[in-house]
């Protein structure tokens, strides 16, 4: 797309003879196509997933470039406007969907870094696009330009650019040189668009090979798995990831100990930092607020992963019941005791109870995404959301039951709630 912004004004002005304003007007399909591709990208990604949306975008880009490679010095402006619009619609579709997919995979504390990386790629793409398209165009132009009979100095000027070629043609009053310069530039434009089409096809292949199958966030990423080496033995986390998990667990364990000893409100973040023997920067890297120390336990993505591992013939509720059972089975006695402490703390502190609602809403969205992918339905399907909401409601019922009986087994209560839901909620 950036390459077009470099080459098409020259085509319109030097080859077709329009002025700068007319050239700008003829570039409007480029902007219109970009908008037309970007606007439906989010809805399309929800419906068919980021993988297929980005792939479709690259395919449109390649199709527009292939059509553009048939542009001649006399091609109609409608034809040129159409292929520019298609190429840029593909660009807008792929760029928007890929950016959203990339950023949606990141946690809140990493979103700033991720956004900066995406912006860096986008800003770097402009110079690369101009350099690649310009280099191919220039090489093809110089190869096709006929400077037979021209003095060396005039030939050098003519080869530098189409404007130079037309200037030399005007000075020596050579209609043949002018026609050759225009045809050579059109040929160079065609060659640069062929290269763009190849890049677009490569982008489509890479999107199919590497982007997540469903909507971003459906499956537990390797980084998310690595945060829980003790809770799930499936990550193969490296030393760095295990160190992160230990640091996170140390902060939470010391915080819960302080909450038990002196109360939640009386405990400060500074005290937690001192007890865990970490820096302030390290604390806030993992937990933006004190509430997050209690609420963020990383179990939601693990539950989703366990759900996705269930046999496909299982209905949603039995599959979720099996997933919860698998996660609880992998927990140590210490981790189960930690979960009971968290439940008691959440129920005792109004701010935590209010914040917990956001956690439940997040879990419901995770469940809806996973269930929709498993059932081949769109994530915003009401039936999907209703089932996900019912499962979350069943798990919410466990909290007051734990409050009534602090010694109750969290795993058994959760299984009983889901079993009741599975049987049809009969009383």
Q: Which two tokens stand for residue 341?
A: 């402490």
In this structure, are 188 and 229 located in the same domain?
Answer: no
Is 427 among the domain residues?
Answer: no
Count of domains forming the chain: 2
Domain that holds residue 253: 222-422
Closest CA to 308 of 294, 293, 320: 320
Q: Using an 8 Å Cβ cutoff, are 190 and 11 in contact?
A: no
| pLDDT given for residue 53 in this prediction | 94
In this structure, are 205 and 240 located in the same domain?
Answer: no
In this structure, are 231 and 174 located in the same domain?
Answer: no
Is 67 among the domain residues?
Answer: yes
In this structure, are 284 and 179 located in the same domain?
Answer: no
Asked which of 176, 210, 244 is the last residue of a domain, the reply is 210
In this structure, are 282 and 359 located in the same domain?
Answer: yes
Residues of the chain scoring pLDDT < 70: 105-111, 213-241, 297-298, 427
| pLDDT given for residue 179 in this prediction | 94
Q: Is 363 left (phi over 0), alpha (psi -120 to 50) or beta?
A: alpha
Is 373 among the domain residues?
Answer: yes
In this structure, are 27 and 90 located in the same domain?
Answer: yes
- What would the 3-class secondary structure string for the chain be? CHHHHHHHHHHHHHHCCCCHHHHHHHCHHHHHHHHHHHCCHHHHHHHHCHHHHHHHHHHHHHHHHHHHCCCCCCCCHHHHHHHHHHHHHHHHHHHHHHHHHHHHCCCHHHHHHHHHHHHHHHHHHHHHHHHHHHHHHHHHHHHHCCCCCCCHHHHHHHHHCHHHHHHHHHHHCCHHHHHHHHHHHHHHHHHHHHHHHHHHHHHHHHHHHHCCCCCCCCCCCHHHHHCCCCCCCCCCCCHHHHHHHHHHHHHHHHHHHHHHHHCCCCCCHHHHHHHHCCCHHHHHHHCCCHHHHHHCCCHHHHHHHHHHCCCCCCCHHHHHHHHHHHHHHCCCHHHHHHHHHHHHHHHHCHHHHHHHHHHHHHHHHHHHHHHHHHHCCCCCCHHHHHHHHHHHHHHHCHHHHHHHCCCCCHHHHHHHHHHHHHCCCCC
Asked which of 175, 210, 245 is the last residue of a domain, the reply is 210
Handedness of CA 7, 9, 12, 13 (dihedral sign): negative
In this structure, are 229 and 205 located in the same domain?
Answer: no
In this structure, are 158 and 47 located in the same domain?
Answer: yes
| pLDDT given for residue 75 in this prediction | 94
Is 246 among the domain residues?
Answer: yes
| pLDDT given for residue 112 in this prediction | 72
Is 216 among the domain residues?
Answer: no
In this structure, are 25 and 119 located in the same domain?
Answer: yes
In this structure, are 180 and 231 located in the same domain?
Answer: no
Asked which of 184, 210, 236 is the last residue of a domain, the reply is 210
Domain with 203 in it: what CATH number?
Answer: 1.20.1250.20
In this structure, are 409 and 313 located in the same domain?
Answer: yes
Q: Buried b vs exposed e over 114-134: b needs ≥16 C-beta within 10 Å? A: beeebeeeeeeeeeebbebbb
| pLDDT given for residue 228 in this prediction | 39
| pLDDT given for residue 12 in this prediction | 95
In this structure, are 133 and 177 located in the same domain?
Answer: yes
Is 69 among the domain residues?
Answer: yes
| pLDDT given for residue 108 in this prediction | 59
Is 284 among the domain residues?
Answer: yes
How many C-beta neighbours within 10 Å does residue 247 have?
16
* Model confidence pLDDT, tens digit, residues 133-154: 999 999 999 999 999 999 999 9
Domain with 247 in it: what CATH number?
Answer: 1.10.357.10
Is 189 among the domain residues?
Answer: yes
């Amino acid at each position: 797309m950036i390459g077009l912004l470099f080459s098409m004004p020259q085509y319109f002005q030097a080859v077709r003879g329009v002025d700068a304003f007319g050239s700008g007007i003829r570039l409007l399909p480029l902007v219109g196509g970009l908008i037309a591709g970007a606007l439906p990208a989010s809805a399309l990604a929800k419906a068919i997933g980021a993988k297929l949306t980005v792939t479709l975008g690259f395919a449109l880009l390649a199709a527009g470039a292939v059509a553009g490679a048939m542009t001649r010095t006399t091609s109609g402006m409608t034809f040129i406007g159409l292929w520019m619009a298609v190429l840029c619609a593909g660009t807008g579709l792929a760029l928007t969907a890929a950016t959203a997919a990339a950023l949606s995979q990141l946690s809140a504390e990493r979103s700033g870094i991720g956004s900066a990386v995406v912006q860096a790629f986008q800003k770097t793409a402009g110079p690369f696009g101009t350099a690649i398209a310009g280099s191919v165009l220039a090489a093809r132009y110089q190869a096709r330009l006929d400077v037979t009979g021209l003095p060396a100095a005039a030939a050098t000027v003519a080869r530098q650019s189409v404007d130079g070629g037309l200037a030399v043609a005007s000075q020596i009053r050579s209609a043949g040189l002018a026609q050759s310069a225009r045809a050579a530039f059109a040929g160079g434009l065609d060659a640069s668009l062929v290269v763009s089409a190849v890049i677009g096809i490569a982008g489509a292949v890479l999107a199919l090979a590497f982007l997540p199958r469903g909507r971003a966030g459906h499956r537990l990423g390797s980084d998310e798995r690595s945060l829980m080496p003790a809770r799930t033995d499936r990550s193969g986390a490296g030393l760095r990831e295990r160190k992160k998990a230990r640091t996170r667990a140390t902060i939470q364990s010391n915080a819960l100990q302080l909450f038990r000893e002196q109360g939640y409100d009386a405990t400060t973040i500074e005290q937690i930092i001192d007890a865990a023997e970490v820096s302030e920067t390290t604390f806030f890297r993992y937990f933006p607020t004190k509430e997050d120390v209690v609420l963020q336990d990383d179990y939601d993505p693990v539950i989703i992963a366990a759900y996705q591992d269930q046999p496909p013939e299982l209905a949603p509720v039995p599959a979720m019941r099996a997933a919860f059972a698998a996660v609880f089975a992998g927990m140590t006695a210490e981790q189960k005791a930690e979960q009971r402490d968290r439940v008691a703390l959440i129920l005792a502190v109004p701010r935590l109870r209010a914040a917990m609602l956001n956690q439940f809403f997040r879990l419901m969205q995770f469940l809806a995404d996973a269930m929709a992918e498993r059932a081949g339905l769109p994530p915003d399907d009401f039936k999907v959301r209703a089932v996900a909401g019912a499962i979350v409601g069943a798990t919410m019922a466990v909290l007051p039951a734990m409050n009534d009986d602090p010694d109750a087994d969290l795993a058994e209560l959760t299984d009983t709630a889901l079993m009741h839901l599975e049987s049809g909620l009969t009383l």
